[in-house]
Copies of this chain bind each other. A is one copy, B any other.
Amino acid sequence: MPQFLSTTDPDFEARFIALLGAKREDSPDVDHIVAEIIADVRARGDQAVIDLTSRFDRLDLTPDTLRFTPAEIAAECALVSDEDRAALELAAARIRAYHSRQMPDDASWTDDTGATLGWRWTPVSAAGLYVPGGLASYPSSVLMNAIPAKVAGVARLAIVVPTPDGVTNPLVLMAAQIAGVDEIYRIGGAQAIAALAYGTQTIPPVDKITGPGNAFVAAAKRRVFGKVGIDMIAGPSEILVIADRDNDPDWIALDLLSQAEHDESAQSLLITDDADFGRAVAAAVDARLQTLERRAIAGASWRDFGAIITVADMDEAVALSDRIAPEHLELCTADADALAGRITHAGAIFIGSWTPEAIGDYIGGPNHVLPTARSARFSSGLSVMDFIKRTTLSRMTPGALAAIGPSAERLAKSESLQAHGLSVRARLDRLNRGS
């Protein structure tokens, strides 16, 4: 059974804080092993990657077989059904259309001193995308990571995906093809992150690494951060549904379960202004749980971290939602559009009962890589912005320097940075001499 809370409970605040602070994930401390793996790859390059792949993935590679050949990719893609291919292509087209609108504009203007100011956006030159192997090898994640990079203009996009015992997921290769990925390597774990960050004889280094992974991959990404850019380190998935009584309890139950089935540490929360509706959803969850293939996982998540919170009105719902800062927020209420406008902290909002969160996981268009663990208070989902960077531009004229240079000189003096001041003064003196 999930927790039932009501804002009228005398101990509500304490229980709500406990719910917010619940430690849902115990990451094993693998930092020491990961440090050794990275050092090994830096020292021995390809051979280290090959040895580690043999040990962890039970797969014997050579420098020539680290990378999938075009023929191998084509052969795997031929195994994909036409229906699956069409679904991936529709998803890719919609994700591409959404992310294409994210490209920001360059800017340049001249101010009243005559100074020209502005900025210019440029893509990262090379990016690497980690794709987990085995059960969590999701083709949808390939699309969600690779398409923003390609829309941004990344010239070289490499994927690493482990193939334990040589088993490949054809849909992952197909998604990579559709997204325009340039290189695919059959390696994983910390050794794959190290190879992307530092390069080997066969694998050129990249500038930015994104994509989800296990504890080893997360620890390796933290370690190579600075040498390359990384995306966020994602925690377990979460959903908050805010629903009034005018909903089918079964729909809401399935939306809650679609997070719970990801992972035993996933969290599914419902806020409603009708306690009876909350109980009806709980019953619907129980009924659906009987029939789910992943009922062990979904059941544990719902039992340990699920909660149904009854509020007096939607004002309370909005305030609690912003404290939760959910990764996914589904609004199934009358006038859901207006409610969405009152939310400040959320990774993605799904508006209205016809927008199940699963649409956003696959095909809506927005990215499904979103801030977890309350980090929507200060961060955003993956986007084109993660694959571009901004160079600021300034151009002074003699007149602009004459107008603002003396103030720069004064501030440099106040910070005891003499050469800073002199670099301005030398130019002002030339102007004053009129030459």
Docked complex: A382-435 residues within 8 A CB-CB of B: 383, 385, 389-398, 400-401, 404-405, 407-408, 410-412, 414-424, 426-427, 430
Interface mask (A97-116 → B, CB under 8 Å = 1, otherwise 0): 11001001001010100011
Whether A188 is near chain B, meaning CB under 8 Å from some CB there, is: no
Whether A43 is near chain B, meaning CB under 8 Å from some CB there, is: no
Evaluate whether A411 and B87 lie within 8 angstroms (CB atoms) in the complex, with A228-B378, A419-B292, A423-B357 already known: yes
Evaluate whether A288 and B349 lie within 8 angstroms (CB atoms) in the complex, with A344-B125, A359-B408 already known: no
Whether A189 is near chain B, meaning CB under 8 Å from some CB there, is: no
Q: Bound state CA distance, A104 and B288, in angstroms?
A: 43
CB neighbours (8 Å) of A395 from chain B are 336-337, 350-352, 354-355
Shortest C-beta distance, A179 to chain B (Å), equals 14
Evaluate whether A411 and B139 lie within 8 angstroms (CB atoms) in the complex, with A117-B366, A392-B367 already known: yes
- A101 and B90 within 8 A (CB): no
CB neighbours (8 Å) of A196 from chain B are none
In-complex Cβ contact of A423 among B251, B346, B352 (8 A): B251
Whether A364 is near chain B, meaning CB under 8 Å from some CB there, is: yes
Evaluate whether A418 and B122 lie within 8 angstroms (CB atoms) in the complex, with A98-B117, A379-B389 already known: no
Evaluate whether A359 and B404 lie within 8 angstroms (CB atoms) in the complex, with A395-B351, A397-B354, A410-B83 already known: yes
Shortest C-beta distance, A156 to chain B (Å), equals 13
- B360 and A394 within 8 A (CB): yes
In-complex Cβ contact of A364 among B83, B109, B117 (8 A): B117
CB neighbours (8 Å) of A79 from chain B are none
Q: Bound state CA distance, A389 and B229, in angstroms?
A: 19
Shortest C-beta distance, A392 to chain B (Å), equals 4
Q: Bound state CA distance, A418 and B377, in angstroms?
A: 31
Whether A94 is near chain B, meaning CB under 8 Å from some CB there, is: yes
Whether A226 is near chain B, meaning CB under 8 Å from some CB there, is: yes
Q: How many copies does the complex hold?
A: 2
Shortest C-beta distance, A219 to chain B (Å), equals 13
CB neighbours (8 Å) of A363 from chain B are 404, 407-408, 411
- A412 and B251 within 8 A (CB): no
Shortest C-beta distance, A235 to chain B (Å), equals 8
Shortest C-beta distance, A240 to chain B (Å), equals 13
Interface mask (A321-354 → B, CB under 8 Å = 1, otherwise 0): 0000000000000001100110111111111111
* Contact segment of A4-12, A51-59, A258-266, A273-281: A258-266
A: number of interface residues (CB 8 Å) = 123
Evaluate whether A139 and B415 lie within 8 angstroms (CB atoms) in the complex, with A359-B396, A427-B356 already known: yes
Q: Bound state CA distance, A341 and B395, in angstroms?
A: 13
Q: Which of A115, A171, A208, A398 has the most CB of B within 10 A?
A: A115
Whether A267 is near chain B, meaning CB under 8 Å from some CB there, is: no
Evaluate whether A293 and B416 lie within 8 angstroms (CB atoms) in the complex, with A122-B345, A348-B394 already known: yes
CB neighbours (8 Å) of A185 from chain B are none
- A389 and B380 within 8 A (CB): yes
Q: 9 closest pairs, A vs B, by CB? A: A229-B378, A366-B392, A254-B423, A351-B395, A87-B407, A358-B420, A257-B419, A380-B390, A356-B423
Residues of A within 8 A of B (CB): 83-84, 86-88, 90-91, 94, 97-98, 101, 104, 107, 109, 111, 115-117, 119-120, 122, 124-125, 135, 138-140, 171, 207-208, 226, 228-229, 233, 248, 250-251, 254-255, 257-258, 260-262, 288, 292-294, 298, 336-337, 340-341, 343-367, 370-371, 373, 375-381, 383, 385, 389-398, 400-401, 404-405, 407-408, 410-412, 414-424, 426-427, 430
